[in-house]
Amino acid sequence: MNKPASAPAAALQEASRLASQGRLPQAAQLLRQHLQAQPGDALAWQMLGLMHLMSSQWPDAASALEQSAALNGQDARTWAMLGVACSQQGRVQQAISHFDAAVALAPADAALWCDRGRALHAAQRLEEALASADRALSLNPAQPAAWLLRGNTLRDLRRLPEAVQSLQQAARLAPADALHWHALAAALEDGRQFENALACARRGLAVAPRHSGLWVSRGNAEMALDQPQPAAASYEQACQCDPGNADAWVGRSRALFKLGEDKQALDCLEKGVALDDKPPFLAELMRYRQKQARWDDLPALWARVLAQLDEHNAYSMAFPMLAHPGATGADLLRSARACVAAERAKLPHPLPARPKPPEPVPAPAAGRPLRVGYLSGDLRDHAVSYLLAGVFEAHDRSAFRVIGIDACAKAVSDTPMRRRVLAAFDESIALGRCTPEEAASRIRALRLDVLIDLMGATGDGQAGVPLLRPAPLQVTWLGFPGTSGMDEIDYILADRHVAPPGSEGEFSECVVRLPDTFQPNDSQRAISPAVPTRASQGLPESGFVFCCHNSTYKVLPGMFDIWMRLLHRVPGSVLWLVNDGEHVRANLRAQAARRGIDGGRLVFAERCAYGDYLARYRLADLFLDTLPFNAGTTASDALWAGLPVLTQTGRSFAGRMAASLLHAVGLPELVTQTADEYEALALRLATHAQELAALRQRLNQQGRASALFDTARLTRHLEQALLTMCQRQQQGLPPQGFDVPALPAA
């Protein structure tokens, strides 16, 4: 005959029975009643803590479990549950100490070592977390949670091949757990194994078709593989599964923008930012509102973006910030440093603040040419190649060996420009879809003297390569018009206009000023011989044509106000802009109408072949530049074609580019300092035909012979800059800014 249970034991049994039925509040109430009579019952306190854990009542759980531990400090399970309660409250260090106590009492319990590792991982004590995961696996190699922990920790340590192996093992052991497939897809994406990441996301969705995160991973892989149509569908599925997933909405917006569905894309981006207004999303929203001329509430958005520049999760902010009207050079440096912090977090952990550069190769004094590597994802039909092709060809091969490092991860058309650029290098390598670590290793093997980064924040997945110091000297130039924010980049190539004396504090690099202009130009670029008619471009046969073929995101309300006043004061005039899509045209015409100007006086130019685009400039009368982000390549294109450019000098490198070009081409009088000066000069030139004609004649007579278009001259100045940098280093001197002396005029 069984003896009846004692009253205390019966209470605990009944509480357990209620919990097994999911009646947690009733179980907790029964335990509290029991503890009023038996406050010294450690097991009852432990059970009450468990009830609160199961109900996600973390503070109550911690309180009950602390009582249990105080009464019986030898129960490993109590310490482990207390660690869980603290972890859920963000009390990570306390959680770790509790898990330490648990494994000290039960060192053979693999699950406890795994719990401890998760707490260490949350505290970013990654090496300790990895050791804890390894201890758990030594005790129980068939524990999926430990393999997951190990894989996630290795991923954070940027040991990606090992991370993938661990996460694959977790998925093999528990293939029905979507968490494992999601983590594996993310690790494969980090390793730029996008085909494998896509296959992994599909496997996960086969077992968990409503998993929003897996749909996002699938969309990310499809976007990386240049498949925007299926990516848009994947992100849409993610949004349907979890309408509160900000990454899903932002990812969907990116795919839709790629597909040209701009209006719907912006709506999706607005929803994503409403859910999560982290700095990169805000900056993206700012850029695309500007790109679509959606100027409602733009000042408030500008203020929000500027207020968050110091956030660490600021990857992708640097480029949109160039067109922020309130940003100073100092603000852009802060933005760049925030982006670098995000890039640094993606690299092997821990990464030194300034990795030691490779040992310099033997001094070139021995007669060896300097080995100069150009890193770019734009060795194709792109502005960077249009500007630099002639420089690559003009290098003095007796003193320089020129090496191309192609960082474009996507398929590139075999165009005449691409063939020309690649043929200009003495040797070249293609990085493809390798990781920054792999890219740095391949660049290091080239034994460069100098690496010139032509990408900066525009880098196609390789923006972090210079952080790994693959060359003893590193220089940023041209691709990104401003500071990189990287201490690992030693120099920036500039001039006295884009980086005037006193502006050195706006740059993380030492400033090297070329004597004429920072911008190279190819003196061989061909203009189509046939000039189109005005009628073929939708322009009036007579009447003044103001022109701005800058991207629409550079066109901001303040400058647009000036342009509309010019149209009002110059009868019969039109404004010739770039056609950035149906919605952009409609928005800009609506903005013109609000300012009392017939929207029909805005004419939009279609995209066309480069030579035809250059010829088209001959139909315009005056190019009106934008601020705070000036025309760069576009301005030199217009000047090459013989069209005068009017600019206003801004407060940053990007806002001073056109001033540099106009001084180099011999038209400094077209550089204004204030908005009033800009508007007054534009009006005078539009209403004084002889003055404008004289400027145009000067440009056509001497422009192509000017320093701006003297490719060989700029190349010699560049080479002198590189020699000076290397000589300083060979002498053991640290990087230091300097001005390159000008060669005698031709």
Query: pLDDT at position 360, please?
Result: 58
Query: pLDDT at position 4, please?
Result: 44
Is 361 a residue whose pLDDT tops 60? Answer: no
Query: pLDDT at position 193, please?
Result: 92
Query: pLDDT at position 313, please?
Result: 47
pLDDT in tens, 70-89: 999 999 999 999 999 999 99
User: Of 251, 291, 292, which is closest to residue 269 (Cα–Cα)?
Assistant: 251
* One-letter amino acid for residue 146 of the chain: A
SS (H, E, C) 714-728: HHHHHHHHHHHHHHH
Averaged pLDDT for residues 674-680: 98
Averaged pLDDT for residues 291-302: 92
Q: Are strands 473-476 and 450-453 parallel, antiparallel or unpaired?
A: parallel
DSSP assignment, residue 296?
T
Residues 6+ apart with CB under 8 A from 271: 249
Between 21-30, 249-258, 543-552, the lowest mean confidence (pLDDT) is in 21-30
Q: Where are the beta strands (DSSP E) in 500-643?
A: 510-513, 545-548, 574-578, 602-605, 622-624
| Percentage of the chain exceeding pLDDT 90 | 77
Question: 370 has which bridge partners?
Answer: 400
Is 715 a residue whose pLDDT tops 60? Answer: yes
Is residue 327 exposed (0-12), middle (13-18) or buried (19+ Cβ within 10 Å)? buried
Is 687 a residue whose pLDDT tops 50? Answer: yes
Gyration radius of the chain over CA positions: 31
Is 259 a residue whose pLDDT tops 50? Answer: yes
Give 309's pLDDT tier (boundaries 50, 70, 90).
confident
Is 457 a residue whose pLDDT tops 60? Answer: yes
Is 375 a residue whose pLDDT tops 60? Answer: yes
- Mean pLDDT in the chain? 92
Is 696 a residue whose pLDDT tops 60? Answer: yes
- 356 membership: H or E segment, kind and range: none
* Whole-number Å distance between alpha carbons of 398 and 538: 51
Averaged pLDDT for residues 112-131: 94
Q: Are 405 and 441 in contact (CB under 8 A)?
A: no
Between residues 420 and 279, the one the model is more confident about: 420
Averaged pLDDT for residues 306-335: 80
pLDDT in tens, 529-572: 988 999 999 999 999 999 999 999 999 999 999 999 999 999 99
Averaged pLDDT for residues 433-460: 88
Is 486 a residue whose pLDDT tops 70? Answer: yes
Averaged pLDDT for residues 102-111: 94
Query: pLDDT at position 227, please?
Result: 95
* Whole-number Å distance between alpha carbons of 225 and 195: 8
* Whole-number Å distance between alpha carbons of 244 and 249: 9
Q: Where are the beta strands (DSSP E) in 325-377?
A: 370-376
Question: 513 has which bridge partners?
Answer: 494, 739
Q: Are 593 and 519 in contact (CB under 8 A)?
A: no
DSSP secondary structure string, 21-84? Answer: TT-HHHHHHHHHHHHHH-TT-HHHHHHHHHHHHHTT-HHHHHHHHHHHHHH-TT-HHHHHHHHH
Give 447's pLDDT tier (boundaries 50, 70, 90).
very high
Averaged pLDDT for residues 383-390: 94
Query: pLDDT at position 317, please?
Result: 77
SS (H, E, C) 180-227: HHHHHHHHHHHCCCHHHHHHHHHHHHHHCCCCHHHHHHHHHHHHHCCC
Handedness of CA 628, 648, 479, 410 (dihedral sign): positive
Is 617 a residue whose pLDDT tops 90? Answer: yes
Is 206 a residue whose pLDDT tops 70? Answer: yes
User: Of 207, 155, 212, which is closest to residue 184 (Cα–Cα)?
Assistant: 155
Half-sphere exposure of 170 (CA within 13 A, CB side): 28
Averaged pLDDT for residues 523-532: 90
Query: pLDDT at position 345, please?
Result: 77
Query: pLDDT at position 315, please?
Result: 52
Here the contacts of 563-571 (C-beta below 8 Å, separation 24 or greater) are: 563/624, 564/592, 564/595, 564/596, 564/597, 565/595, 565/679, 566/624, 566/679, 566/682, 566/683, 566/686, 567/592, 567/597, 567/601, 568/596, 568/597, 569/683, 570/544, 570/546, 570/683, 570/686, 570/687
Phi, psi (5° rounding) for residue 175?
-65, -15
* One-letter amino acid for residue 635 of the chain: A
Give 420's pLDDT tier (boundaries 50, 70, 90).
very high
Query: pLDDT at position 3, please?
Result: 45
**Cα–Cα–Cα angle for 232, 236, 239, rounded to 5 degrees:** 140
Give 436's pLDDT tier (boundaries 50, 70, 90).
confident
Give the pTM.
0.86
* Core vs surface per residue 615-630: b (16+ CB within 10 A) or e: bbbebbbbbbbbbbbb
- Cα-Cα-Cα-Cα torsion 313, 353, 321, 244, nearest 10 degrees, comes to -10
Is 20 a residue whose pLDDT tops 90? Answer: no
Query: pLDDT at position 621, please?
Result: 98
Averaged pLDDT for residues 4-19: 76
Is 458 a residue whose pLDDT tops 90? Answer: no
Residues 6+ apart with CB under 8 A from 414: none
Give 443's pLDDT tier (boundaries 50, 70, 90).
very high
Q: Are 162 and 194 in contact (CB under 8 A)?
A: no
